[in-house]
Structure 1
Amino acid sequence: MARLTAKIHEVIVTTKNADGTAHHAPMGISEVNNYFQIKPFKTSTTYNNLMNQRSCSINYIDDVRVFAGALTGHRQWPTSPCEKVDGIYLTDALSHSEIAIQNVDDDDPRACFYGAVVNEQQHGLFRGYNRAQSAVIEAAILVSRLSMLPEQKIRDEINYLTIGMEKTAGEREWEAWGWLMEKVKQAGIDVE
């Protein structure tokens, strides 16, 4: 029997802070009934910016340092202004969607923002992910859950992800991996 669930796509959601600067957040989003569903925690900067701004960009990238950087304090990436919404997108994105928020379910602990695509642009070619890029994204998800997961699960997952890193990582992936492993060590988890 087929499962009827929404696919979750790992992307970078860029919102505009009150001072006009960009806030980049790695996030799993879904597309349901022609709307993107963006579900930030209510305590997050993304939540506050979407409540205030009612627009964002969804960035499709292959530079996994942006995923890792958002979780480890490396947030300075080149941006450009959106064309159809009052927002910002990652200049180096392969493509981006400009989103106008149409509706909000303000539930706890996560709100759900329903956004309509008002503009999409292609900037580069997607040539596929290697295993190291996928490993960095999975490690970033682990890092975002350090306080929720058992230490042994984190160690086991990182040990497995290290295989893909060792086989296919380039300079960018190793840099992102290093940032994430430093965060894991700061949480008191030995992963070596």
Structure 2
Amino acid sequence: MIQEILITTVNLQGDTHIAPMGVHVDKDQYIILPFRPSTTLDNLLTTKTAVINFCDDVRIFAGCLTGRRDWPLSPTQQIAGYYLADTLAHTELKLIRIEDDDTRPKLFCQAVYTVNHRPFQGFNRAQYSVLEAAILISRLGRLPWEKIQAELDYLRIGLDKTAGEREREAWDWLMTAIEQHRQGVQA
């Protein structure tokens, strides 16, 4: 199974990096597949640790893709690092094995500590729409514009019907990023 989560990693100086990512989950093993080059990859290879954040605030996903990375953090318990203060739950990981690849290595991690901070209340369609739009943003240079526009048109239906303030803010960030990308491509 692949779960859309937020990964926090730290470098040797203790600086935290937050990245949205689809992570493969198999019981207590997590397989992280960052593309090269990647700050997440560099940090994980250096410190051999990461944190999986299970979060329902889609602004953090959208924010990370649009240059908004300053989110409150809390210190981890079993590894040197931080988790998102607004996460529902987090799992602290240690890197146990690497399958190297020139484009996208597989990093096999073991859960060493998990805690639930508050209950999951469920997703609405707007949160789904923002997550899917965020994934589209991460592929702007690889997908044809017609496909992106068709998917955004469909996702906007769910957004318009169910969005709250957080979802609308995140959507606006993503749409601004798309427009800036299109203007840059057409220039």
Q: TM-score range by the shorter chain?
A: over 0.9
Paired AA for residue 21 in structure 2: M
Match of 1:167 among 161, 164, 177: 161
Paired AA for residue 89 in structure 2: S
Match of 2:132 among 126, 135, 138: 138
Match of 2:48 among 40, 54, 61: 54
Structure 1 CA distance for aligned equivalents of residues 180 and 42 of structure 2: 27
Structure 2 CA distance for aligned equivalents of residues 55 and 62 of structure 1: 23
SS in 2 for 1:188: helix
* 1:25 to 2:19 alignment: yes
Structure 2 CA distance for aligned equivalents of residues 148 and 105 of structure 1: 25
Q: Unpaired segments of 5 or more residues in structure 2?
A: none
Residue by residue, what CA displacement relative to the aligned partner does 1:30-57 show, whole Å, maximum 9, x if unpaired?
A: 1236420000012010010001110010
Give the structure with the higher percent helix: 2
Match of 1:112 among 106, 110, 135: 106
| Residues 39-188 of structure 1: pairs in structure 2 closer than 5 A | 39-188=33-182
Q: What is residue 6 of structure 2 aligned with on the other side?
A: 12
Report deviation, 1:19: 2.8
SS in 2 for 1:155: helix
Q: Normalised by the size of structure 1, how large is the TM-score?
A: 0.93
SS in 2 for 1:187: helix
Aligned pair count reads 183
Structure 2 CA distance for aligned equivalents of residues 115 and 72 of structure 1: 28
SS in 1 for 2:182: coil
